[in-house]
């Protein structure tokens, strides 16, 4: 483990997700205090003044924001089906946008919390695979069968919210035109468009990692508890899970009746606000 080496983190979003991004980055910093990060932001139209605010916030905990603006003509508007933004495809195409010096990157959705060390994911042996990701299998694994029938695939169905990506292999294998072809072929069947595309085209190039550690779906706490025969209770999660993922709706930054994990989210939200207040006081 080389603590002097920065960990490369990838985020792709529009300006609506900047507030939860700051909460996620706060949790990343707090629970990895001896690490510095390169935070790679791929975006299309976030205003420069908001980028500057985010950059100063990231710098306040010793990391660096590195921004790549994607040409709005590069990704066709036709990929924005079901009201999902084009930015979701930037993560699949990150090999095209990141410099060749970046050999691997951890992609993180902004609706996540990092509650323990991320080191083991960063140093994971991909064993020749292009990516590592988790599934959300549920109690019966029936979602895999449904998605296999829907997309004509045979591999398990991976969630694209957290991924370790070998960017050299991504540059070699992931092609924009292939993504367009899948969208045109399956447009009516696509439910989570970029995730469906990921699984259809590249599912066989993904190494599975345990969801209860790396992509814990906070909606499914009872399922995890049941499948583990009572082992994965709240204490186990706080001690062992690394990434909580607030999939679906309502999101914890909007939810009024908070569950146990949403309360934890609000805790990091408050930490983020205090960090920004301190940053402001130092600047005055």
Ordered per-residue pLDDT tens for the chain, 284 residues: 566 789 999 999 999 999 999 999 999 999 999 999 999 999 999 999 999 999 999 999 999 999 999 876 455 555 554 555 677 789 999 999 999 999 999 999 999 999 999 999 999 999 999 999 999 877 545 455 555 655 666 678 899 999 999 999 999 999 888 888 888 777 666 666 788 889 989 999 999 999 999 999 999 999 999 999 999 999 999 999 999 999 999 999 998 888 889 999 999 999 999 999 988 777 76
By DSSP bridging, strand 158-166 and strand 37-43 are unpaired
- What domains sit in the chain, N to C, each tagged with a CATH number? 7-210 (3.90.550.10)
C-alpha 228/C-alpha 277 separation (Å) is 41
Q: 215 and 136 in contact (C-beta within 8 Å)?
A: yes
> How much is the pLDDT for 114?
98
Rounded to whole angstroms, the Cα distance separating 46 from 220 reads: 33
What CA–CA distance (Å, rounded) separates 224 from 115?
A: 17
| Tokens, residue 182 | 């899948």
Q: Is the peptide bond before 104 cis (omega within 30 degrees of 0)?
A: no
pLDDT at 229: 95
Q: Closest by alpha carbon to 165, among 115, 67, 93, 116?
A: 93
């Amino acid at each position: 483990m080389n603590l002097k080496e920065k960990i490369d983190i990838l985020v792709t979003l529009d300006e609506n997700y900047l507030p939860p991004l700051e909460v996620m980055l706060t949790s990343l910093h707090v629970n990895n205090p001896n690490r510095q990060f390169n935070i790679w932001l791929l975006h299309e139209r976030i205003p420069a003044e908001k980028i500057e605010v985010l950059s100063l916030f990231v710098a306040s905990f010793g990391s660096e924001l590195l921004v790549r603006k994607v040409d709005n003509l590069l990704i066709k508007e036709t990929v924005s089906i079901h009201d999902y933004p084009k930015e979701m495809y930037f993560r699949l195409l990150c090999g095209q946008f990141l410099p060749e010096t970046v050999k691997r990157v951890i992609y993180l959705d902004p609706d996540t919390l990092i509650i323990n060390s991320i080191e083991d994911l960063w140093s994971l042996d991909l064993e020749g695979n292009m990516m590592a990701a988790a599934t959300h299998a549920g109690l019966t694994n029936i979602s895999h069968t449904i998605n296999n029938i829907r997309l004509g695939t045979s591999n398990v169905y991976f969630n694209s919210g957290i991924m370790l990506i070998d960017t050299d292999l991504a540059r070699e294998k992931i092609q924009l035109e292939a993504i367009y072809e899948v969208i045109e072929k399956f447009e009516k069947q696509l439910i989570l468009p970029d995730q469906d595309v990921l699984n259809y085209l590249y599912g066989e190039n993904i190494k599975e990692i345990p969801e209860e550690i790396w992509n814990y779906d906070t909606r499914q706490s009872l399922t995890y508890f049941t499948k583990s025969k009572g082992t994965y209770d709240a204490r186990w999660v706080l001690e062992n899970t690394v990434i909580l993922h607030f999939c679906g709706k309502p999101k914890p930054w909007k939810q009024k009746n908070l569950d146990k994990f949403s309360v934890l989210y609000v805790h990091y939200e408050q930490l983020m606000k205090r960090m920004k207040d301190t940053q402001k006081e130092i600047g005055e």
